[in-house]
């Protein structure tokens, strides 16, 4: 008997390789690393839930100015939420700065007027001859540049350059020279694992809870190499990613004249335990990568009742704000203040916390101070 062994998929975490072309600097080929991050957000419910909760904690009751300036005149609540989401999801954000036209009659110079969100995953860098970033390219779809032709915008630096729209780019501290990486970078592969476990479970159900099949091809003689290669091509087209949960093994053996094909089902063994163990592993690692101090703060309660004590929750919330939320708020605010100070020189931005998260100043454990 001859058995063909087919090498199945081997997962490797994508490298963060900046694509420095002759014209655009992108985060991977056609901004592919941004796409990879977005796919792990869409495919992993744990990862998506944590990121959404972080964004809610960051925004709280909104952005305000300590002196009473109406910040909503310059940046809408929707744009603010999109900015905070990009920063947590990708580790960076970008905004359009829209200038007023000024007036020669009134002797008014152009000045920044509005801040609008622009998706950071659709941005590429433009580099001058000295290696400095002097502008940004925008394309709705970098994989289809012929249809969505990249458009160059100048970098905002507070000096009007006869263009009413400029782009200002803000990123978290990173060892990367151009693009930042998300703060939960080490958890992306576990978000991918959770996604594939979901796909595998669905595939398992759709295949009638069968663990797979053995296809035994019995003939008067071994099949030709061309025929075996055809079998291999057909099988490989089916066995990709999590679909391999219900795999088929093909074997060739001598037997009766005229040939015969026998198909045998493989019975599932300990599938429930395997799926449970890997699912719990993925969840733990994703929480760890996001530096989650207590899962209950993100809507997850375990069977042990961890975090049910009010004092524990307050302390966990305090730690979360000090170690994660406030540092992210600081980077976001610094970028927005840089732009808005050209409009309101005395502006001092701050995020307002949810009322029920604010502990009275006489309370010892104040999570937001």
14: which DSSP letter? P
Residue 33 confidence (pLDDT) above 70: yes
Q: Are residues 98 and 144 in the same domain?
A: yes
Residue 143 confidence (pLDDT) above 90: yes
Q: Are residues 233 and 296 in the same domain?
A: no
pLDDT for 108 equals: 73
pLDDT tens sequence across 219-233 = 555 667 776 676 566
261 alpha carbon, distance to own chain's centre:
46
Six token digits for residue 332: 């976001």
pLDDT for 304 equals: 47
Of 331, 317, 333, nearest to 369 by C-alpha is 317
Lowest mean per-residue pLDDT among 16-25, 49-58, 64-73, 162-171: 16-25
Which residue, of 224, 243, 267, is where some domain finishes?
267
| Average pLDDT over the chain, rounded to an integer | 80
Six token digits for residue 157: 């630096």
pLDDT for 367 equals: 41
What are the distances in angstroms from CA 175 to CA 166, 171, 178?
A: 26, 11, 9
pLDDT for 129 equals: 86
Q: Are residues 36 and 126 in the same domain?
A: yes
- In sequence order, the 6+-apart residues with CB closer than 8 A to the CB of 168 are 94, 95, 97, 155, 156, 335, 338, 339
Q: Are residues 221 and 300 in the same domain?
A: no
Answer yes or no: is 6 within a domain. no
323: which DSSP letter? I
Which residue, of 251, 267, 283, is where some domain finishes?
267
Q: Are residues 241 and 302 in the same domain?
A: no
Q: Mean pLDDT, to the nearest integer, of 70-78? A: 95
Answer yes or no: is 219 within a domain. yes
Q: Are residues 224 and 179 in the same domain?
A: no
- For the entire predicted model, the pTM comes to 0.78
pLDDT for 212 equals: 58
Three-state DSSP at 192 gives: helix
- When pLDDT is cut at 50, 70 and 90, the band that residue 36 belongs to is very high
Residue 209 confidence (pLDDT) above 70: no
pLDDT for 357 equals: 62
- When pLDDT is cut at 50, 70 and 90, the band that residue 213 belongs to is low
pLDDT tens sequence across 222-276 = 667 776 676 566 655 555 555 555 555 566 666 555 455 555 555 565 667 777 8
Q: Are residues 31 and 104 in the same domain?
A: yes
- The structural domain count of the chain equals 2
pLDDT for 184 equals: 96
Residue 207 confidence (pLDDT) above 90: no
pLDDT tens sequence across 100-139 = 876 556 667 888 899 999 999 999 999 988 888 999 999 9
pLDDT for 316 equals: 82
Q: Which residue has the tokens 């949960």?
A: 245
Between 253 and 167, the higher pLDDT residue: 167
Q: Are residues 52 and 144 in the same domain?
A: yes
Rounded-to-integer distance, Cα 276 and Cα 273, Å: 5
pLDDT for 216 equals: 62
Cα–Cα–Cα angle for 72, 167, 81, rounded to 5 degrees: 40
Answer yes or no: is 30 within a domain. yes
Residue 215: which domain range? 210-267
pLDDT for 169 equals: 97
In angstroms and rounded to an integer, the radius of gyration of the C-alpha atoms of the chain is 27
- When pLDDT is cut at 50, 70 and 90, the band that residue 362 belongs to is very low
Residue 284 confidence (pLDDT) above 90: yes
Q: Are residues 233 and 349 in the same domain?
A: no
């Amino acid at each position: 008997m001859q058995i063909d062994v087919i090498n199945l998929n081997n997962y490797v975490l994508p490298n963060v390789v900046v694509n420095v072309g002759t014209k655009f600097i992108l985060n991977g080929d056609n901004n592919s690393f941004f796409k990879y991050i977005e796919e792990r957000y869409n495919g992993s419910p744990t990862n998506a839930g944590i990121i959404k909760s972080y964004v809610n904690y960051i925004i709280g009751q909104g952005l305000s100015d300590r002196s009473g300036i109406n910040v909503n005149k310059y940046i809408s609540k929707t744009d603010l939420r999109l900015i905070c989401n990009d920063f947590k999801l990708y580790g960076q954000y970008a905004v359009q700065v829209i200038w007023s036209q000024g007036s020669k009659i009134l002797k008014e110079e152009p000045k920044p007027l509005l801040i609008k969100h622009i998706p950071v995953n659709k941005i590429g860098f433009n580099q001058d001859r000295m290696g400095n970033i002097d502008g940004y390219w925008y394309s709705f779809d970098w994989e289809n540049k012929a249809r969505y032709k990249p458009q160059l915008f100048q970098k905002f630096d507070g000096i009007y350059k006869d263009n009413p729209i400029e782009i200002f780019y803000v990123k978290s501290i990173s060892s990367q020279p151009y693009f930042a990486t998300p703060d939960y970078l080490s958890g992306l592969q576990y978000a991918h694992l959770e996604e594939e476990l979901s796909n595998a479970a669905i595939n398992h159900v759709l295949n009638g809870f069968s663990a797979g099949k053995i296809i035994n091809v019995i003939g008067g003689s071994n099949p030709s190499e061309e025929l075996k290669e055809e079998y291999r091509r057909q099988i490989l087209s089916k066995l990709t990613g999590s679909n391999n949960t219900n795999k088929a093994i093909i074997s060739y053996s001598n037997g009766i004249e005229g040939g015969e094909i026998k198909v045998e089902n493989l019975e599932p063994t300990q599938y429930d335990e395997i799926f449970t163990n890997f699912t719990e592993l993925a969840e733990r690692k994703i929480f760890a990568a996001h530096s989650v101090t207590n899962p209950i703060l993100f809507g997850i309660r375990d069977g042990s009742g961890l975090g049910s004590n009010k004092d524990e929750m307050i302390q966990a919330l305090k730690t979360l704000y000090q170690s994660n939320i406030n540092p992210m708020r600081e980077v976001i605010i610094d970028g927005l203040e840089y732009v808005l100070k050209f409009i309101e020189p005395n502006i001092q931005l701050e995020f307002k916390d949810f009322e029920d998260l604010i502990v009275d100043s006489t309370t010892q454990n104040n999570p937001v101070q």
